[in-house]
Amino acid sequence: MRARIADAYRRFLSAARSRGWVKQATETPHEYSLRVGGGSGVEGVTAAYEEARFSSHRLGDREAEAAELAARAAIEQVADQ
């Protein structure tokens, strides 16, 4: 499930990069989300990625599906900017 969540976050990063929002190597995911402009999708996919990357508890289909949904919303948000 962590891989699905990370893939969702990478899809968001790719879409944002194509719109000019390049994540700097020194930026944390949270800092990047603030610079991009937040929004529920951006915040959701970022929080899901941070949880998948930095926690050790079990993540299931529900968390992966929520991350994928948030990524789709985040991609729409950056497309509208």
Contact between 67 and 8 under an 8 Å Cβ cutoff? The reply is yes
Q: Which residue matches tokens 């990478």?
A: 10
Backbone CA torsion sign across 15, 16, 17, 19: positive
pLDDT the model gives residue 45: 98
Q: Which residue matches tokens 């990625």?
A: 49
pLDDT the model gives residue 37: 85
Report pLDDT digits (tens) over 43-56: 999 999 999 999 99
pLDDT the model gives residue 64: 97
* Positions in the chain whose pLDDT score sits under 70: none
